[in-house]
Structure 1
Amino acid sequence: MLEIQHLESPQDWQKIIPNFNPQTDTWIVADLKAKLEVQQKLFKKYNFLPEEANLRASEMWLHIYKRLGLETQIITLNFAKVYLTEQLEQEEEHWLKVPGAHKTLLEYIKQLFPLIIYPHSEELMGAWWRENNGSLLRWGRWFYYAQKYVQKFLDQGWILPTWIPYILFNDHLHQINWDRKIIIDLGSQLTQTEALLFRQLSESTDVTVMTPKKISQGEFFNIDRNYSRLFDSKKIVTDKSSSYENVTFKRFTTSLGEVKDLSAQVREWIQQGFKPSEITVSAPDIEYYWPVLSAYFEIENIPVQKSKVVRAQSFLPIMAWLARLKIELGKISSEDIELDIFSDFHQIQDVSHLEFKKLYSLILDDNQIHRLKEVSHRYKFSMDSKTPINLDQFLLWAIRHLREFKNTQPLESLLRTLLQDNLQNIKLKPTSWLRCLEDAAAKTEISVCEEQFEGVFVENLRSARHLNTPCLYVFGLSESQVKSVKMMGLKASEVLSIENDLGFVLDLPESQELEFDADWLLQSQCTNIIASFSETNFAGEIDAASMIWLKPVKQKTEKYDIVDLPKLSYWDFLQKKLTTIHNSKKAQFIDRDLGKVTLPSQKLNKISALSVSRLEKYSQCPFVFMSESLFKLRDPQILDLDLDPMAFGQFMHKVFQYTISEPFKGDWTDPELMEVFEKSKQDVKLPLFDEKTWFRIQRMMLKIIKQFINFETDWRKTYPQTKTIGREVELKSCWDQNLKDFIELNDEKGIVFRGSIDRIDVDEENYAVVLDYKSSKNQLSNYNNWLENDQIQLSIYAYLVEKGFTGLGKPLKVFGMGYIAAKDCERNKGLWCEEADNKLFTINNRSRNSMTKQELSIYWEKVKNRVYELVEKISEGEFQPLPKDIKECGKCNWRKICRAPHLN
C-alpha cells in the first residue's frame, strides 16, 4: 500500500519518529548527513538499530541488487573516468580525444541509461531520429558511443552505483521485494526511476512517502514530475502558498559582505542566549565559502560542527611522489621536475634553483629533460607507459620511487582509497593507473581538526533540511549557485518528446534540486531565518538573485533592489582598533610604498668590487643596481626557442675570440667554423632549448661570421699594419676614491674593477685601438653623447689600456676606441684621435667623432670625475628609484616591485 504523508515544514519528519519501529520499518534518506540526524533521534529512544532500519536510497538498491545474486563488480565514478579516457584515446574520432570528452560521455550515459539498456533501443531511436533530424546531428553520435561503452562495462561485469536502480527497473522489476515497511524521506533527490521502483515495492509492502508541501505542479516542475510517478494520475494536493513571514531577506554587494554579516549575526545570536548548536548556516555549496567563512569563525572564536580536512594530494611527500611518477612515465613538465628536485632537501646542492628556473621553465619536448645531467640522471624511465599492467604491478613499481615518510597516515589513507574498488584483476596502462592514484589523492580526506559537537551546524542545502535549530542563515542564493544545467545536447523538449513517443522516462537537463531545497528550507519552523545573496562573487564576477530569493522579496516589498550593509564583525573591530593604533605609521608606510617619501640613505661600510657595466647600471637606475648588486636578486632569462640577447652575445664574443687571432686567417672553411661553434658553445655553456635551436643558431652564426671575416679581411687590406694583440683582455685595476683615479690592482687600497676588453688592435708604432663587439649598430653613438648618457665603459677600458692596468701587462698609446657592429659590419662609431688618422682607421670629418690626443686626456679627466661621483653616491647608499630616463621603466623587469612615484 502507498501512503502520502504531507510535510508542512522541513522539520515535520520528526513527527513520524514516535510511530517508527526499527525492527519492522526502514527509513530511506538521501545523504549521509540526513542518515546521521535520523539515527541520532532514534538512538534517544532505542539502544541499538538494525542495519536496515535506516538506509540511504543507494544503499537500499544495493541491498536488493545483492539479494538477487547478480554477479557484477561495482566500480567508482573515478575509475570509470580513467578507463573511458584510456579507451577514447584509441578511437578514430578526434572529438572523443579532447580533454573532458570522457566526462561528457558519462553525462550522456547517466541521462540516456534507461534507453541504452533497452534491448531494441537502436530501432526505436532510429525511427524517432527520422522525425527529429536536429537531435540526431547534435547528440546522435554521443548516443552511439554511450551505448557502445555501457555494453563494454557490462561485458566485463562492471556497473556504476548510479546504474543499479535502472537495471533493477529494466531487468528485475517483478523480482524486487523488501520485507519491511518503507518510509521515503528523499525530498528533492527522488528520481523518476526510484519512484517507479518504490511504487512496485508498494504492491508487496507498505510504503509511506513524505511529501513536502512545496511539491505542486508548475513551481518545481522537475521535482513534481518525479513524485507524480508514485501516484500515477493522482494529483498531489498541497497548499501552494508559501509563508516567508519570519524570513529576513538581505542583499549584499559581494560574497565577502555575506560572510562578514553571517559571522556577525551568528555572534549576535550567541550573545542573545542561543547555543552554537542551535544555529545553522547553509549554502548551496558550502565548500565554496568555507575558506573565508572558517577564517571569520576562527577570529570570532565560534565553534562549528564541521571537521577541518585536507586532501592527501596537498601533502608535500605525496605531491613529490606523484610528480616523480609522472616524470618516470614520460609526462614531463617543469612544475613536476621542480617539485621532485626541490622537495628533496638532500638534492638541493646538485643544482641551483636559479639555474633550474632558467633552463626548465619552458619544456615542449620530453628530450629537453637532458639539459642538465644532474637532473636527467635522476630518472630511469624504466616503465613502459603503453604496456597494460595490473594494479599490483603498478604499485610495486610506484613504491620504489617513494621517499621516506615521517607521517604515513596520508599515504595509508590514499592507498586504502585506491584499493577499495578491488581492481587487482584489471589491466590498464601505467599512465591510467597513475590517473587513478591522482584521483584517489584528490578524493582522500585527512582530518586535521575534529568537529565540535556543540558548535554551529555548517551544511549544504541538501543536508540541512533534517536539522532543527531556532536560528537559520541561508546564504549564497544567487542564480549561478542554485541553478545547474547539464552541458549536453539534449533539450527538455526532446526529453519530453522521447517520453511521449517512446515511453522512456529520462531526467530533464535542468536540475531544480537546489532551488527546491533552498525554498523548502526557508519554510522551516525557526525563530530567526535570514536569506541572502551577493551581487558579485569572490572572483568579482557579477551575479543575479535567484528566483527563490527574488520572488518572496517582491511579494513582501517593492524595495527589492536595496543593498544591505554587512554588520560589523569582530574582525572589523580588530582592524579598526589596529588602524587607530597604527594609523600614523600606516600612512607613512603607504607614502613610502607610493614613492612619496624619500628613503633614507643606507651608507655602505665598504665596496669590495665593481664593474664598469654595474657602474653604468647605477647611473641608469639606482634601484636596479641595489636589487641586483646588493640584494643579489636575479630575474633570469627563461630558456626559450630564441636565445636571450645576453647568452647570444657571450657566444658571439667567444666565436670572435677564436676566429680573430694572429696571424689573421681569412679563409675559414665551414667545417672549421662549425668546430669553433661547438667549442664556443661548450666554453660559455650555451643554454639551448633543443637541437633544432642549435642547428638554427649555427646557420645564423655561420652567415654572420663569414660576412664578418670578409669585412675584417678587407679592413686589413686597407690598414695592413693592423694587428690584434688582445682578445678578452682582463682588467687589473682598482679605483682609489681619494685619488679620484684608477691605480694598479691592490685589494687593500681601492675598489677592484672587474671586466674584460673585447679586443685591442695595434700598429707597428704600438698605437692602440680599443674595440667593443656589438650585435648591431642600433643605439650606438659617437663619443659626443657618451658622458651625457653615462656610457663610460669604452672610455674607462681605453684609459686602463693607456695606463697598463690590464692583462697585457704593459701600457699602450691609445689613439682610438669604438664599436664593431658584427651583423652590420661597421666600426665607425666611437672616438678617434687625429694623430693616428689613416693608420688604424680613417676619420670622417662629417661624423664629428675625432679629437686630438691632448683633448683625449682632458676627456678622460671628465670620465674619472663622473666615476668619482657615482662611487660616492653608491658609498653613501643613495638607492632611491630615480631612473635616468623614465621611458625605460616600461620595459624594466623590476617595475612591479619598484617604488618610483611615476609607477604607483
Structure 2
Amino acid sequence: MLKVISIESRSQISEIFANYNPREQSWLVSDLRTKFELQQKILGRDGQYIDESVLRASDLWKMLLKRLDPGLRLVSDPFARSLLRTIMDEHADVLGVNSSAEDTVFSYIDQMAAVIFHPEGTSRLTEWFESHPEAMNRWKEWYLRARFCALKLLQEHRVITADWITAYLQNFNDLERVWSMPLIVDLSGEITRVEAELLQALSRAVDVVVLEPTPAWRSDFHFLLQPYEDLRAMSTAVQKLPAVVRGEKKSEVLRFSGMLAEIKHSVGQVRQWLDQGIVAENIAVIAPDIETYWPVLQAYLAEEGIPAQKDITHKAQSLPSVTRWLALLRSKSGRLSTSDLEISFFEKEEAQQLRYEEFRSLFKSLYVNEDLARNEIVHKVFFEQMDLGGFLKRDEFVAKALLSWNSDETDIVQVVLRELLQNAVAGTSLTWKEWLSYLESIVAAKEYTLEKGEPRGIMVTKLMSAHSEKARRRIFVGLTDEALKGRNKTQLSGQDYFELAKDIGFYLDNPDQSDLEFELRLLAEADSDEDLYCFGATDLSGSLCSPATFWMSLQGEHEKLTVPLETRWDELQHSTQRGERPLLAGRKELVEQRILQDLGKVPFATITSPELPRISASAVESFLECPFIFAAQRYFKLKDLPDIDLDVDHRTRGQLAHAIFEKLTIEPMRFDWKVEELDQLLETVRVEKKLVFADERLWTPLKKKHIQLGLRFLDFEKRWREEFKKTRTIGREKRFEFYLDPQSGDISTEARDNCFRISGQIDRIDSDGGKQLVVVDYKSSSGGISAHGSWLKNHELQLLFYMWVLEKGLVQDVQGEVIGLFYYVFRNFERKGFKVDDLAGVLYPANKRKDKNATFEAKERYLTEFSQILMTTLGRIKNGECDAKPADFKTCTSCEWRRQCRAPHLN
C-alpha cells in the first residue's frame, strides 16, 4: 500500500517518528549524516536498532540490485570511466569519436540513464526526435554514443555505477519479492522520477509511506517535485498533518568581501554564542559545498579551540610518498613532464650529483623519451622504461606499480590498492595508460582521516545534510549562484527537459531546478532560534561570485558590506599592546619589521658572510645594476641557466663562436682552413663545452651556420691584417686572478685576509709586437652597446675593467700599454669602443671624425674614474649591502630573481 503524508515543515516529522517502529519499518533518508543522527535518536528512545532500521536510498537500491542481479558488479565512477575510454578507443570508427570525448559521453550516460536503461526508452526518444528536429541535430548522436557505451559496460563488462542503479532496476518487474520491510520515505527534494516508480512497485507488497514536502512555494519547483505528483496519483491515501506553530526567530542577511571574511565572521559568531552559554551541538555552519570552506574554517576553529563534529581529512594525493610514486610511474611510462621528472628524480640518491638549476635548464622543456639523455645521471635512473604495449591484467599492473613504491609508509598504498581490487576483477584487462589513469583518479578521490571529529562539537556540514533538530543557531555561508546551481555538461536545453517530461514522461535532472536551492528554502523555514545568511563577493582564489536569488529575496541590507567579527588570530596580533605573550610580541615585531622593509621604509639587514665573494667584471656590473641581483648570484649561489629547447639559446651560440675564434686566432694565424677542418673543429668544441641540444637534429644546421661564420671571420681577419700588418693575437680567453684589499688598495697574487679574490677572462688581446695592446671582447650583436663616453654612466665596465687589470700588469705573460678597447660584433665584424687616435694606423684605423675623448688624457680619466667606482663598489659589497635598489626599474621586468625579490615597487 502506498500512502503520502504532506509535510509543510520538518518539525512535523516528530509526530511520525513517535509512531515509527525501527524493528519492523525502515526509514529511508538521502544522506549519511541524517542517517547517523536518526540512528542516535532510535538508540536514545529504544536502546537498539537493526541495520535496516535506517537506510540511505542508495543503500536500498544497491541491496535490491544485489538480490536481483548478483552477477552485476557495482564499480566507482573512475573505474567506469577507464573502461569507457577503452570501449571508445576500440569502437572509435563506429562512434565517430575516441576516448578524448569520454567526459562528454559519461555526462550523457549520467543524464540520460533513465532513458537508456528503460525497456522502451530509446524507441520513445526516437519518436520524440522526429517532432523535435532542432534537439535531434544538437544531441541525438551523443545520446546514441552514450547508449552504445553504456550497454557495452552493462552487458559485456557487467559493471554499473551507483548513479545508474535506479534506471537499471526499471527492467525488473518483481522488485517486491526481494524486499519485505515497510518503508518510510524521507528524501525531500532529492527524489527522482525513477525512484518514485520503484517505490510504487515496492508498495505492491509492503507499506510505503512517502513524506512529501509541501511548502507554500512548492509551485516554484514543480519540475523537481513532479515525482511526488506521480506518487500522489498512485497512492491509496494522502494525509496532511496538523500545522506546527512556528516560533519567532532572528535572521540576518550579511554581505562580505569574500569567503575568507565569511569564515572569520562565522568563527567569531560561534565564539560569541559559546560565550553566551549556547551548547556547541546546537550550532551549525552550513554551506552548499562545505569542503570548499573546511580547510580554512578548520584552521580558524582550531585556533579558537572550538570543537567540530567533522573529521579532519586529507586527500591521499597530498602525501609526498604518493605524489612521488605517481610521478615515478608516469616518468617511467613515457608520460614525460618536467614536474613529474623533478619529483621522481630528486628523491633519488643520484640527485645529489646534479644541481637543481642545472636540472631545470636541461629538462624544463621535454618532448620525447630521448630527451632524458641530456644528462647521463638522469638517463641512468630512467633508462628502463616500462613496456606500454598491449593490455595488462589487473594483477600484472599492481605488481609493476608496487615495484616503484619506495616508502616505508604502506598504509595509504594498501587503501588505494584495496579500492582498485574492489572494482577490478582479476580478469580485467586495460592498457597501462588506462590503469595508471584509474590509479590517479583513486588517489585524487581517496581521503585518509588525520583526526576524528568531536561528537559534541559544532555541526559543520553541507546543505543537503543540514536538517537537524539540534541545530538552533545556524550560519549559512556560500550563498552564491555558482554554488547552488548545477552545471549542464550536455547540450540539452532547459526546454528539452520540459518537453521530454511532457511528451514521453521522462523527468530528467534539470540543472535549472536546483535541489540545493529547494533544500535551502526548506531549511530557512525549519524551526531555529537564529539564522545568518552570508554571501561572499569573491571566492578564496579571488574570482568574483554572484549572489544567490534566495539570498537576494531575504529581507535585509544586501548592499551593505559587513566587517567580519574578530577571531582569536586577530586578538593574538593585537595582544602585545596589552603586554601579553612576550614570545608572540617578538614575532609581531619581526612581522612589522618585514612589512616596513617591503614598503621601503626600513632598509634590509646587511649580509654577513665568513668569506668575501669572488669578484669579476660582470659581478661589479650586476651590483651596480641592483645589489639584490649580486646577492642572489654571489651569496645565495642562484644560477640563471638557459633552458634547453628547440630554439638554441644565445649563450650556446656565443660559446661556439668564442671557441671557434679562440682556435682560429692561434699564431701564426692560418687563413686557409677547409670546411672539413672547421667541421671537425666544431665537433671537438661541442665535446669540450659539453653542449646539449633539445634535439640532435638541431646540431647539423647550427654547425653549418658556424662553419660559415668561421669562414667569414677568417676572410675578415685576413683583410684586417693585410691593412694592419703588425697585428698579432697574444692572448685568447686569457685568464687572470689576484687579490685586492678594498681599504688600502693593495694588490697581491697570494690570498690574504679581508681581500677580494678578483678573476676574469679576456676574450682576446692583440699587440703590435711591442708594448701597445688592444683589448677585444666578442659580441653577437651591437644591441645594448653604448658609446665609450657613456660606459661609466651606464655601468658598462667590462672593457675598462680589463684595461685596468692590464695596466696594473696583472695578466700573466702580457705586458704593455692599452691603446684600444673594442667590442667586436661578429654579426657584421664591426669594432666599437675606445681608441687613442694619436696611435691609429698600426692596430686600428683612425676615427673618421675628430673625437676629443680619443686621447691619452681621456684614457687616464677612464682609469681614474673606474678605479674610484671599483673601490667604492667593493666597499659597499664588503659592508653586506643587498637592498633591492635597481639603477633602472626597467631591469625588474626581465630580472630572473623577480619572484624572490622584496623591492617595494614589486610588492
TM-score (norm 2): 0.92
What residue identity is the alignment partner of 2:428?
I
2:663 alignment counterpart: 658
Q: Note if contact 2:12-2:241 (Cα within 8 Å) is conserved in structure 1.
A: no
Partners of 1:850 and 1:185 lie apart in 2 by: 96
1:60 alignment counterpart: 60
Please say which of residues 277-286 and 360-369 is displaced more in the overlay: 360-369
Q: Note if contact 2:596-2:602 (Cα within 8 Å) is conserved in structure 1.
A: yes
1:206 alignment counterpart: 207
Choose the corresponding residue for 2:542, options 531, 540, 543. 540
How far off its partner does 1:747 sit? Answer: 4.5
Q: Note if contact 1:10-1:466 (Cα within 8 Å) is conserved in structure 2.
A: no
How far off its partner does 1:813 sit? Answer: 4.2
Partners of 1:738 and 1:274 lie apart in 2 by: 72
Partners of 2:280 and 2:830 lie apart in 1 by: 83
**Alpha carbons of structure 1 residues 238 and 819: separation in structure 2 relative to 1, 3 Å:** farther
How far off its partner does 1:241 sit? Answer: 12
What residue identity is the alignment partner of 1:161?
A
**Alpha carbons of structure 1 residues 760 and 146: separation in structure 2 relative to 1, 3 Å:** same
**Alpha carbons of structure 1 residues 139 and 737: separation in structure 2 relative to 1, 3 Å:** same
SS across alignment from 1:733: strand
What residue identity is the alignment partner of 1:539?
S
* Aligned counterparts, 1:445-594, within 5 A: 445-553=447-555, 559-578=557-576, 589-594=594-599
**Alpha carbons of structure 1 residues 321 and 666: separation in structure 2 relative to 1, 3 Å:** same
What residue identity is the alignment partner of 1:352?
R
Residue 284 (str. 1) matches residue 282 (str. 2) = no
**Alpha carbons of structure 1 residues 532 and 81: separation in structure 2 relative to 1, 3 Å:** same
What residue identity is the alignment partner of 1:542?
L
Q: Deviations over 1:480-532 (max 9, x none)?
A: 21121322111232233233333444333434211111111122222223322
Please say which of residues 444-453 and 125-134 is displaced more in the overlay: 125-134
2:163 alignment counterpart: 162
Q: Deviations over 1:831-871 (max 9, x none)?
A: 22345422222112416287455764564344333322322
Partners of 2:125 and 2:620 lie apart in 1 by: 80
Partners of 1:55 and 1:535 lie apart in 2 by: 38
1:85 alignment counterpart: 85
SS across alignment from 2:233: coil
Please say which of residues 601-610 and 268-277 is displaced more in the overlay: 601-610
Residue 391 (str. 1) matches residue 389 (str. 2) = no
2:40 alignment counterpart: 40
* Aligned counterparts, 1:313-712, within 5 A: 313-344=317-348, 346-405=349-408, 407-553=409-555, 559-578=557-576, 589-599=594-604, 607=612, 609-712=614-717
How far off its partner does 1:305 sit? Answer: 0.6
**Sequence identity (%):** 29
**Alpha carbons of structure 1 residues 887 and 462: separation in structure 2 relative to 1, 3 Å:** closer
1:228 alignment counterpart: 229
2:835 alignment counterpart: 832
Q: Deviations over 1:565-622 (max 9, x none)?
A: 3333333322333577768876654333222334566677763632122122223323
**Alpha carbons of structure 1 residues 608 and 118: separation in structure 2 relative to 1, 3 Å:** closer
What residue identity is the alignment partner of 2:2?
L
What residue identity is the alignment partner of 1:415?
L
1:179 alignment counterpart: 180
**Alpha carbons of structure 1 residues 462 and 177: separation in structure 2 relative to 1, 3 Å:** same
2:152 alignment counterpart: 152
How far off its partner does 1:44 sit? Answer: 2.4
Partners of 1:223 and 1:238 lie apart in 2 by: 22
Residue 893 (str. 1) matches residue 896 (str. 2) = yes
Q: Note if contact 2:350-2:377 (Cα within 8 Å) is conserved in structure 1.
A: no
* Aligned counterparts, 1:86-105, within 5 A: 86-89=86-89, 91-92=92-93, 96-97=97-98, 101-105=101-105
How far off its partner does 1:373 sit? Answer: 1.4
How far off its partner does 1:390 sit? Answer: 1.0
Partners of 1:671 and 1:178 lie apart in 2 by: 90
Q: Note if contact 1:27-1:182 (Cα within 8 Å) is conserved in structure 2.
A: yes
How far off its partner does 1:184 sit? Answer: 0.6
1:297 alignment counterpart: 301
**Alpha carbons of structure 1 residues 901 and 71: separation in structure 2 relative to 1, 3 Å:** closer
How far off its partner does 1:284 sit? Answer: 0.8
What residue identity is the alignment partner of 1:567?
L
Q: Deviations over 1:358-379 (max 9, x none)?
A: 2222223332222111112112
Q: Note if contact 1:831-1:849 (Cα within 8 Å) is conserved in structure 2.
A: no
SS across alignment from 2:381: coil
What residue identity is the alignment partner of 2:830?
E
Partners of 1:661 and 1:87 lie apart in 2 by: 68
Partners of 1:508 and 1:601 lie apart in 2 by: 64
How far off its partner does 1:209 sit? Answer: 0.8
User: How many residue pairs get matched?
Assistant: 895
Q: Deviations over 1:242-277 (max 9, x none)?
A: 979514132222222222221122112222222212
How far off its partner does 1:740 sit? Answer: 3.5
Partners of 2:99 and 2:706 lie apart in 1 by: 41
Unaligned runs of 5+ in 1: none
SS across alignment from 2:115: helix
Partners of 1:178 and 1:877 lie apart in 2 by: 82
What residue identity is the alignment partner of 1:821?
V
How far off its partner does 1:759 sit? Answer: 1.1
**Alpha carbons of structure 1 residues 270 and 834: separation in structure 2 relative to 1, 3 Å:** closer
1:143 alignment counterpart: 143
Q: Note if contact 2:644-2:693 (Cα within 8 Å) is conserved in structure 1.
A: yes
1:722 alignment counterpart: 727
How far off its partner does 1:897 sit? Answer: 4.7
Q: Deviations over 1:205-233 (max 9, x none)?
A: 21111122328652212332121121228
How far off its partner does 1:731 sit? Answer: 0.8
Q: Note if contact 1:228-1:236 (Cα within 8 Å) is conserved in structure 2.
A: no
What residue identity is the alignment partner of 1:477?
L
Partners of 1:738 and 1:258 lie apart in 2 by: 60
Q: Note if contact 1:64-1:176 (Cα within 8 Å) is conserved in structure 2.
A: no
Partners of 2:213 and 2:730 lie apart in 1 by: 98
2:197 alignment counterpart: 196
Please say which of residues 574-583 and 683-692 is displaced more in the overlay: 574-583
Unaligned runs of 5+ in 2: 580-584
Partners of 1:824 and 1:236 lie apart in 2 by: 97
Please say which of residues 19-28 and 204-213 is displaced more in the overlay: 19-28
2:20 alignment counterpart: 20
Residue 870 (str. 1) matches residue 868 (str. 2) = no
How far off its partner does 1:737 sit? Answer: 4.0
Partners of 1:37 and 1:890 lie apart in 2 by: 59
Partners of 1:612 and 1:180 lie apart in 2 by: 89
Partners of 2:681 and 2:850 lie apart in 1 by: 36
**Alpha carbons of structure 1 residues 897 and 322: separation in structure 2 relative to 1, 3 Å:** closer
* Aligned counterparts, 1:224-263, within 5 A: 224-232=225-233, 245-253=248-256, 254-263=258-267
**Alpha carbons of structure 1 residues 640 and 703: separation in structure 2 relative to 1, 3 Å:** same
**Alpha carbons of structure 1 residues 94 and 765: separation in structure 2 relative to 1, 3 Å:** farther
2:821 alignment counterpart: 817
2:582 alignment counterpart: none
- RMSD of the TM alignment (CA)? 3.0
**Alpha carbons of structure 1 residues 877 and 27: separation in structure 2 relative to 1, 3 Å:** closer
Partners of 1:837 and 1:231 lie apart in 2 by: 110
Q: Deviations over 1:124-164 (max 9, x none)?
A: 44443232221122111111111110121122222222222
How far off its partner does 1:696 sit? Answer: 4.5
**Alpha carbons of structure 1 residues 162 and 830: separation in structure 2 relative to 1, 3 Å:** closer
Partners of 2:245 and 2:223 lie apart in 1 by: 19
Q: Deviations over 1:785-807 (max 9, x none)?
A: 33333433223323434554224
